[in-house]
Amino acid sequence: MFNKVLIANRGEIAVRVIRTLRELGVKSVAVYSEADRSSLHVRLADESVCIGPAMARESYLSIPAIISAALITGADAIHPGYGFLSENADFSAACRDNGITFIGPSPKSIQQLGHKAEARKMAVKAGIPVTPGTKDCVYKDAAAQAAKIGYPIMIKAAAGGGGKGIRIVREASQLANEMNMAQSESKAAFGNGDVYFEKYIELPRHIEVQFARDSHGHTIAFPERDCSIQRRHQKLVEESPSPAVNKKLRDSLEEAAVKLAEAANYVGVGTVEFLLTQEGEFYFMEVNTRLQVEHPVTEFITGFDLVREQLLAASGEKLSYTAGHSVPYRGHAIEHRVNAEDFSRNFAPSVGRIEEWLVPGGPGVRVDTHVYAGYNLPVYYDSMLAKLIVWAPDRAAAVARSRRALVDFKVKGVHTTINAHQLIIESPDFQAGKTDTGFMERLLAPAEPAAAK
């Protein structure tokens, strides 16, 4: 195991990683930008270093600054969290070149699986079903390639992620224009304008399988997470297991994830995302080569600490479970992402000082956050304030627990999405487990004419 780990991130995930490090007796180093001097991760870590100004490009995204911080503090490994540099192969390589262990997959795995078109090829090779689409990035004959797949299609950025760089094209006449926009968006967001086409599946569920693999070849797949409740491709609510997946389907999903992890000779934790059609067919979508925001729902139903598994895999040790590919689970977990957004004003970002911050507790409730009363929200980063995760022996009890915990959650000073979550859990469709990626749009649609009056 490592002696000292630097966390190249901020916010709740930095706090989350520090907690596991402390439990394992590993020292922690927090890095922070000038805007995060008073953030919780800085206060909780054993050491902290200011690495740059507020702008992420010059702090949390600066490879030289972070490597320098690790060398100065004598950290032997870096945990990248999610976002920022977590899926950057150059960063993983820079760590390796400086004798620091990157807690995540090798640069090669990040390149193979992080590049969507490459990952798709690998999935096809491993015998995993993929959505009909182009085998490679589209550079020419776009119209012919789109027609072959059949409209509607999606244009996706090869280097994309987090729902960015996706455009839906419903007819041939829009293709050229949308293609231009997708390419320039992708170029601006990811520094790479490569795009590819995929068949657009109407109202699918977003299902994903968490896996972990060590360098000894042990691979575990965890029960699926259902992340269908999204707004503009940003996840709001995640749950595990999915109300739409039975034992047989679960086994097939887990088997696909294990096959892919083995085919890529992957070491670390990762997630395979699938689309599940209304008819129960699943298609490979992409791989996330990092810890995900929604990992606590998996931890809650299985009792695993996924950060610990990451540390075990990265330090060359065995995973904590080596008795098979599948792990037992119990009950049902739901995660609510609480953002500083004004739900009544079309989710406009809300900033300011957190005047009151009372988080729910009690049985089966977990809150992962970096926020505290008196905290000033910096305007430079994402708007997530906290993740509220609940567990109960079954789904109905978990929904009831969410309802109770959301009432207990008191925030003053900024607007939050707590009331949006209350609306979601009171929806009869949600309660019946009937969700798909169009859920939020339908939920919010009736409110619009009323607001216009």
- Enzyme catalytic residues: 290
User: Which of these ranges, 1-9, 65-73, 127-135, 188-196, lies near other proteins under the rule CB under 8 A?
Assistant: 65-73
Under a CB-based contact definition with an 8 Å cutoff, are residues 2 and 8 in contact? no
CA atoms of 281 and 21, how far apart (whole Å)? 40
Pairing label, strands 27-33, 384-392? unpaired
Q: CA 35: distance to chain centroid?
A: 24
Q: Quick check: 69 binds other proteins (CB under 8 A)? A: yes
Exactly one of 14, 21, 35, 67 binds other proteins (CB under 8 A); that residue is 67
Q: Quick check: 203 binds other proteins (CB under 8 A)? A: no
Nearest to 205 by CA among 437, 366, 444: 437
Q: Quick check: 137 binds other proteins (CB under 8 A)? A: no
Consecutive H or E run containing 235: strand 234-240
Q: Quick check: 51 binds other proteins (CB under 8 A)? A: yes
Number of neighbours of residue 113 by Cβ within 10 angstroms: 25
Q: Quick check: 68 binds other proteins (CB under 8 A)? A: yes
Would you state the structure tokens that stand for residue 331, as one six-digit string?
């009950």
Q: Quick check: 277 binds other proteins (CB under 8 A)? A: no
Exactly one of 52, 165, 241, 296 binds other proteins (CB under 8 A); that residue is 52
Q: Taking CB under 8 A as the criterion, which residues in 70-89 touch other proteins?
A: 72
Q: Taking CB under 8 A as the criterion, which residues in 12-41 touch other proteins?
A: 34
Q: Quick check: 50 binds other proteins (CB under 8 A)? A: yes
Q: Give φ, ψ of 380 to 5 degrees.
A: -85, -15
Q: Quick check: 331 binds other proteins (CB under 8 A)? A: no
Rg over CA atoms, the chain: 21
Nearest to 101 by CA among 289, 305, 268: 268
Q: Which is nearer to other proteins, 32 or 304 (CB)?
A: 32
Task: Tell me which residue has tokens 């909780």.
Answer: 44
DSSP state of 326: B
| Residue ranges in 224-290 assigned as alpha helix (H) | 247-263
User: Which of these ranges, 44-52, 147-155, 163-171, 253-261, lies near other proteins under the rule CB under 8 A?
Assistant: 44-52
User: Which of these ranges, 58-66, 237-245, 287-295, 404-412, lies near other proteins under the rule CB under 8 A?
Assistant: 58-66
- Report in angstroms how near the CB of residue 93 gets to other proteins at its nearest: 13
User: Which of these ranges, 45-53, 101-109, 199-207, 416-424, lies near other proteins under the rule CB under 8 A?
Assistant: 45-53
Nearest to 296 by CA among 11, 13, 40, 8: 13
Q: Which is nearer to other proteins, 65 or 256 (CB)?
A: 65
Q: Which is nearer to other proteins, 25 or 64 (CB)?
A: 64
| Site for other proteins, rule CB under 8 A | 34, 49-53, 59, 63-65, 67-69, 72
